[in-house]
Amino acid sequence: MKEDNRNHIPSESDFIKTKEDVLAEQGLLYEDEKSKVTTENSQSLVNDNTDMTIKEGEFKTEEFRVAKGDFSGDEGIMDEEEIADLYRNKRKYESNFKSDRIIEIKGATKNYGKGRGIFDINMTIKKGEVVGFLGPNGAGKTTTIRAITAFIKLDKGHITVEGMHAFNNRHRINDFLGYVPSDVAFFEEMNGDKFLNYIADIRDLESMQTANELIEEFELDTSLKIKKMSKGNKQKLAIVNAMLHDPDVIVFDEPTTGLDPIMQKKFVDLIARLKQEGKTIFISSHIFDEVAKTCDKVAIIKEGRLVAFEDISEIRKNKVKVFDIQFKYEKDAIDFESSVEGAIRQGANIEYRMQGEVTRLLSKLSNYSIIDIDVHKINLEELFLQYFGGEADE
């Protein structure tokens, strides 16, 4: 049974532990998965960026004072009640002082042996960004996602979510993180309403407004027992459940599996709306249009290693253009093929791929009689296939 941490009043060492990654970045902690920052040692650990010093029996309250709007400069020592107050109100205060780097993955490695797992993954996702995560089956997508959501512990490296070490603070990040796994599992004997209310009670939620809006939007019948729901309806329930507490960070692993095209369109609309609200979203998907329409960046993973992490805008700007040119005379097509590197001829037709401006190409084509020109840009799926040599993501 999951431990109920809602009434837990953190001690000074609990709060200090959330600084672990900050210290690790400065080289003050080297095996951050194993090392713990406590007040039991007398070593002074100093972080230049946040002007924070942790010593035995002391707690510098720089962030606390900034969050409270107190700029008097008095350092003081936080007592237990102040620390508890800061923790309970952390999300309200933290916007005054936290970084815009919502998810940071540094050197993330989980080795299952025989080349399986993830290896030295590095990625930063900023506030309000929507990042698509692509890769063939077995490439490491779900392993990466399970590390972000703190379901597995890394062998090396670390992941922070809103500045907190994900695994060490897994009971806390659940307060502001929503997650739709690739394989959903529920209490099958409950109906949808009872399940959502059960989760809402665990989360101590006072309102079901978000859930009710999504239930209506996705046309979900929550009166049905979960075991009688179709795959698509279970997927809708998983999406509603992930959004129940209006999280700031949402991680989706193949979220549209089982949804029909109409519901897939509604999901894309939901992502666009969440993006407008400033949510940070990490989405693994095999539907390339879904990624292209909703994401700011795309990350591509192959054999456990990140092979690309690009802005969608840059991908669009640098897309290869494919020209299918139909010449009136085959001799002109032969002449063009011989004078332009990369041109591929079939009879009087030429296929030619290029990047950048087309002025010089059009100038050269003006010397020939042309029947037709068809132009299309390589889409995200074709880019994906370039990386994987024709492998398809299932």
Q: Is residue 273 within 8 Å of 106, Cβ to Cβ?
A: no
Q: What is the mean pLDDT of the chain?
A: 76
| Residue with tokens 């019948």, as numbered in its chain | 221
Round to whole Å and give the CA distance between 83 and 86: 5
- Say if residue 33's pLDDT is above 90: no
- Say if residue 43's pLDDT is above 50: no
Q: Is residue 144 within 8 Å of 157, Cβ to Cβ?
A: no
| 3-state SS, residue 287 | coil
Weakest mean pLDDT among 117-131, 146-160, 291-305, 319-333: 291-305
Written as six digits, the tokens of 79 are 């007592």
Half-sphere exposure of 138 (CA within 13 A, CB side): 9
Domain 320-377, second-level architecture: 2-Layer Sandwich (3.30)
DSSP string for 110-169 = EEEETTEEEEEEEEEEETT-EEEEE--TTSSHHHHHHHHTTSS--SEEEEEETTEETTTT
Q: How confident is the model at residue 124 (pLDDT cuts 50, 70, 90)?
A: very high
Report how far apart the first and last C-alpha atoms of the chain are (Å, whole number).
Answer: 35
As annotated, the residues of the chain forming the CATH 3.30.70 domain(s) are 320-377
- Say if residue 32's pLDDT is above 50: no
Nearest to 23 by CA among 180, 168, 176: 168
Q: Which amino acid is at 165?
A: H
Between 3.40.50.300, 3.30.70.890, 3.90.79.10, 3.30.450.20, what CATH number should domain 102-310 receive? 3.40.50.300
Q: Please report the pLDDT score of residue 384 as a whole number.
A: 63
Round to whole Å and give the CA distance between 109 and 307: 15
Written as six digits, the tokens of 187 are 């209490």
Round to whole Å and give the CA distance between 158 and 107: 7
As annotated, the residues of the chain forming the CATH 3.40.50.300 domain(s) are 102-310
- Say if residue 119's pLDDT is above 90: yes
Q: Is residue 322 within 8 Å of 376, Cβ to Cβ?
A: yes
Written as six digits, the tokens of 355 are 């990047």
State pTM to two decimals: 0.65
Higher pLDDT among residues 94 and 287, named by residue? 287
